[in-house]
């Protein structure tokens, strides 16, 4: 998978173009742990006429579920979109303790950018239940866009496997086929709930994995966000400050800019031609001593080919 070079300008152009959701727009549910790049991704989705954001379901990851819910509601209020359902999901990964990432996303998860208290109310449904209900109400129409650990999506599958053939597709941020960021092998979203990720990857629905490999090519720089500064407004100002936080953090690590992992997943949901995505079989390592949470991709595009076979001349 690789991203085309015009990716960042296109993402920025999409973010700056405000349209009401069109009738024929793709219906998506964003499962998210907001999260700085989640925030940019969510605002991108809300401002993309190609997408009809039906719900945000909150998963623990970058921050706790309670903090993520509060952040999501504040963002929906800022954007004037209290019509979008926002529901809390799981409180913990399936089989391990929660590890949050305030060091990366700021103490409040939003780069320490403080938003006003929300006017929106949380949906009372449990996140995985909301996913199940919406998929049944919109068969073959919902694209799931998970931007955090895959706990909620896995719980939805476990609770009601009949949703799998009714989901249009899954476009998720997570994983890597060339080394991780939490460990040498594992990317954070997958590392934070490997068992859930394996369930999602093996469910049998179409999955597009927007991994670190391609996300690392989408570096947002100070030059890029000058464009945002020229378009002031509540959402632009918020995204500008979040972006500054992320870029400053990246610069401390010697990077030229901040990787737009979650926004790229939304970008791929908007326009799949942003990237090239080869068809690979992917399993998630759940038992490795050093590799737990690794997305193990068969780069030959096939599985279980490493078996002895006769040579073509039939002599062996
Ligand atoms: Ca995220």
β-pairing, 142-146 vs 26-32, is: parallel
- In angstroms, what is the span from residue 278 Cα to ligand 1's centroid? 23
- Residue 8's pLDDT band, with cuts at 50, 70 and 90, is low
pLDDT at 111: 96
Which residues contact residue 314 at a Cβ distance below 8 angstroms, ignoring those fewer than 6 apart? none
> In this model, does residue 316 exceed pLDDT 80?
no
- In angstroms, what is the span from residue 172 Cα to ligand 1's centroid? 10
- In angstroms, what is the span from residue 32 Cα to ligand 1's centroid? 6
Domain region containing 268: 2-298
CATH number, domain at 173?
3.90.245.10
- In angstroms, what is the span from residue 283 Cα to ligand 1's centroid? 21
User: What is the number of structural domains in the chain?
Assistant: 1
Q: Would residue 137 count as lying in a domain?
A: yes
Q: Would residue 315 count as lying in a domain?
A: no
3-state helix, strand, coil in the chain (%, to 5): 40, 15, 45
- In angstroms, what is the span from residue 305 Cα to ligand 1's centroid? 35
Q: Would residue 13 count as lying in a domain?
A: yes
- In angstroms, what is the span from residue 292 Cα to ligand 1's centroid? 19
Cβ–Cβ under 8 Å, residues 201 and 179: no
- In angstroms, what is the span from residue 99 Cα to ligand 1's centroid? 13
Q: Would residue 314 count as lying in a domain?
A: no
B/e letters for 134-170, b = 16+ CB within 10 Å, e = fewer, are bbeebeebbbbbbbbbbbbbbbbbeebeebeebbbbb
For residue 17, how many C-alpha atoms fall within 13 Å in the half-sphere facing its CB? 11
pLDDT at 120: 98
Q: Would residue 306 count as lying in a domain?
A: no
pLDDT in tens, 189-201: 999 999 999 999 9
- In angstroms, what is the span from residue 189 Cα to ligand 1's centroid? 7
Angle subtended at Cα 293 by Cα 287 and Cα 299, rounded to the nearest 5 degrees: 100
Q: Would residue 309 count as lying in a domain?
A: no
DSSP state of 127: H
Q: Would residue 304 count as lying in a domain?
A: no
Q: Once rounded to an integer, what is the mean pLDDT over residues 143-164?
A: 98
Cβ–Cβ under 8 Å, residues 121 and 251: no
> In this model, does residue 19 exceed pLDDT 50?
no
Q: Would residue 8 count as lying in a domain?
A: yes
């Amino acid at each position: 998978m690789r991203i085309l070079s015009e990716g960042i300008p296109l993402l920025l152009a999409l973010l700056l173009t405000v349209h009401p959701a069109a009738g024929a727009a793709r219906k998506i549910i964003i499962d998210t742990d907001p999260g700085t790049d989640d925030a940019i991704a969510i605002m991108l989705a809300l401002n993309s006429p190609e997408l009809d954001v039906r719900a945000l379901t909150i998963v623990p990851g970058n921050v706790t579920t309670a903090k993520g819910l509060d952040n999501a509601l504040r963002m929906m209020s800022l954007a004037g979109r209290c019509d979008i359902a926002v529901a809390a999901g799981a409180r913990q990964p399936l089989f391990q303790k929660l590890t949050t990432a305030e060091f990366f996303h700021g103490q409040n998860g939003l780069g320490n950018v403080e938003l006003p208290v929300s006017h929106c109310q949380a949906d009372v449904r449990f996140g995985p239940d909301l996913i199940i209900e919406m998929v049944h109400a919109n068969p073959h129409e919902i694209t799931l866009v998970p931007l955090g650990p895959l706990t909620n999506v896995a719980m939805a599958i476990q609770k009601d496997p009949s949703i799998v053939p009714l989901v249009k597709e899954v476009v998720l941020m997570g994983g890597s086929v060339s080394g991780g960021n939490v460990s040498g092998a594992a990317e954070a979203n997958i590392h934070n709930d490997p068992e859930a990720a394996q369930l999602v990857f093996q469910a049998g629905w179409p999955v597009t994995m927007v991994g670190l490999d391609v996300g690392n090519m989408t570096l947002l720089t100070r030059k890029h966000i000058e464009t945002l500064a020229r378009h002031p407004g509540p959402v632009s100002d918020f995204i500008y400050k979040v972006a500054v936080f992320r870029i400053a953090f990246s610069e401390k690590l010697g990077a030229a800019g901040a990787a737009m992992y979650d926004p790229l997943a939304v970008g791929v949901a908007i326009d799949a031609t942003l990237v090239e995505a080869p068809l690979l079989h992917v399993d998630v390592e759940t038992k490795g001593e050093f590799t737990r949470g690794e997305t193990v991709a068969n780069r030959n595009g096939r599985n279980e080919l490493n078996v002895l076979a006769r040579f073509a001349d039939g002599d062996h």
